[in-house]
Amino acid sequence: MRPAEVLACHDCDLLQLGPAVSPGSTLRCRRCHAELRRGRSNGPEYALAFTLAAVVLLIISNVSPIVGLSVNGHVVRTTLAGSVRVLYIDGMWPLALLVGITTIVMPALQTLSMCWLLVPLRFGRVPAYAVEAFRLFRLARPWGMTEVLILGLLVALVKLAHIAKVVPETALWSFVVLMLLLAAASASFDPHELWARIARARHAERPLKLRPSTPGSATLTAAGCGLVLCHECGLLVPARHEKGHVRDCPRCGSPLHSRKPLSLSRTWAYLLAATVLYVPANVLPVMDTSSLFGAQKDTIMSGVVYLWISGSWPLAALVFIASIVVPMLKIIGLGYLTISTQLGSRWLPEQRTRIYRVVELVGRWSMLDIYVITMLVALVQFQALATIKAGPAAIAFGAVVVLTLFAALSFDPRLMWDAAETDHVRARRS
């Protein structure tokens, strides 16, 4: 039986011994209940099978048309790349860049990096450039938004059905299956198991010796024991300060920090920028529609109203929550966490950590309206009959989504627990 492993929680920095996890079970932090390990049976093998299937569907999804729109015998079809191209031609290159990266580039990088890592391991070999491939996977995974794209397509199809006859194409169905395969591959892919297999093929890693460096500490944390957790590969290593900086991770080469550098300052910068842009994103027109009956400018809220009065109230509620409520709650939630942390609040750190996880989880779903606009702009191009173009609010809204995502990535939840640790130390000394 494998001996218990020393683990550090990535959310609260608590050190604890983690026993071997059986398949189907989950090991959670005893203080903040963050997931530390998940038991998987043949995880790398399943991940490889799902990834190879995803590669095939990724090619089909990007080559074949997604949907067609038929008006008086004239059919307009578009691919995902074609939709991005239309946005670029219309002068909306920031929006085209955002859609292209999140729906084409990042899913492709995610699947290719997983294949690069898993195929050699399947044959008992260490992948070449494993460090670079793993870091590329970690970079791509949060920004691949295939599941949000599927919901955006659904909303766009409902709107298009009131304009003309909608013809579903091959890529629409392949994208649905691709979404499921990418989710299954990510769930099966265990970075801990990946690096454990690579370590077995190289040299065994030395066990850690815990030496607490914070006298009187009520709990044992990684920082208190002079250890640093690598957020990229999960390796726990002794910190060695050289000119005020912690060395790079010896396993994956990522910069190591006891806490994210300038976490609160960067979070504030992103939040303030997102707050400023949130107003024009909801006030300015997000779409400009031209037809035989005249021109019309729609905001995000008017689009919600249109879905509601047309009878699609579930989709109206979905768009309202994803495009209006979620960005506002992300800004308020991160603002509350940043202020309370900066003031050294020791109030309910576990509950505040849960708020952070929710904000981090729902952040990507705000991209829903961006994908709806992309499909409408690409398909409704009937020249004199009707055309749709993205409005200035689309760029502002896309910037809000990206900025709030960066704000969530910049915030370090361990800072919330540091205040509680300081309080415990003072109480013990007094």
What type of residue is 138? R
Tokens of 146: 């295939």
Assess whether 199 and 52 both reside in one domain. yes
> How high is the pLDDT of residue 240?
65
Dist. CA 144–CA 147, nearest whole Å: 9
**Is 356 inside any structural domain?**
yes
CA atoms within 13 A on the CB side of 300: 30
Assess whether 16 and 68 both reside in one domain. no
> How high is the pLDDT of residue 422?
60
Assess whether 115 and 192 both reside in one domain. yes
Assess whether 245 and 278 both reside in one domain. no
Sign of CA dihedral 203, 209, 214, 216: positive
Number of structural domains the chain divides into: 3
Assess whether 220 and 331 both reside in one domain. no
Range of the domain at 274: 260-411
**Is 371 inside any structural domain?**
yes
Assess whether 61 and 202 both reside in one domain. yes
Assess whether 25 and 80 both reside in one domain. no
Q: Say which residues have a Cβ less than 8 Å from residue 197's Cβ, sequence separation at least 6.
A: 44, 121
Tokens of 14: 């608590």
**Is 416 inside any structural domain?**
no
Assess whether 283 and 396 both reside in one domain. yes
SS3 71: strand
Assess whether 282 and 185 both reside in one domain. no
197-254, pLDDT tens digit by residue? 777 766 545 545 555 444 444 567 887 787 888 877 777 888 765 444 556 777 777 7
> What is the value of pTM for the model shown?
0.85
**Is 351 inside any structural domain?**
yes
Assess whether 50 and 192 both reside in one domain. yes
**Is 87 inside any structural domain?**
yes
- CATH code: domain of residue 279: 1.20.140
**Is 406 inside any structural domain?**
yes
- Contact indicator for 9, 236 with CB cutoff of 8 Å: no
**10-residue mean pLDDT series, the chain (430 residues):** 71 81 80 80 81 93 86 78 89 91 93 91 83 88 89 84 80 90 86 78 54 51 81 76 60 78 92 94 83 69 82 82 88 92 85 89 86 83 67 90 92 85 50
